[in-house]
Structure 1
């Protein structure tokens, strides 16, 4: 592609203008970097000289006393809970359990008395009606089921606690590769 002389001169002027602009931009960027570095340095000084002491004073004035007060309140609450509340709750539960036990005992005594009375009445009627010798069929079945259940429980306990060496499989020792 051939250009005219006039176009070549215009392109040369444009190239020189672009190079000049590029040089100016490089100078501006270098100056901006220098300003940013100085600003960073000044910010460090400002932080050390102004901000850090204010933060330290604010912490000492507001945060530390509040934290100490909260710590004392928590310690006091813990001491109060341990020395007053837990023993009171324990005493209340113990009293309630005692009352329940006493009520159960009174009811149990009354129930036993009623059972004895009913048993003696039934016994009198049974002896009067017929003289039966030996246990009945229901008693025999109940005893047999009890014995079977006891044997099952004992077998389960025995199976649980016995030493069973067959259950464990020994780890195989690594075999050395055969040399050829």
Structure 2
């Protein structure tokens, strides 16, 4: 029985690396841009407004826990990327990797938006506006667009079947 090229190609490791990297990096964008630069919210700002030093310190602590979690996701994603790059059966596809990154970032936005903004009400995208819903919906909508773009790129990457020789880890 003869193996075809598609039987020898495994895209899963590169896609998994891209998704974890995308979720971690998307979390960093959220934390750096929305928490620190724009200061629109903190992890607990809807429940514990940072209007005094104690509340601000508690929010800062939970922002740090959040950053530690997205750092771990990014580090694991890098490890998976390294492992995928050492495998001869994994095609090195920019479309698959970038598609995975967009999927991960989109998943981060959708999951974080649904859980933290809607279900738990820990914070909203912009705590300092009267109408928070448009900001939260825009965050979810951006996440959905990232998911769509990621799916399209991953689908396009299915045509990238060139495998490489094994590289040393």
TM normalised by structure 2 equals 0.25
TM normalised by structure 1 equals 0.24
Structure with bigger gyration radius: 1
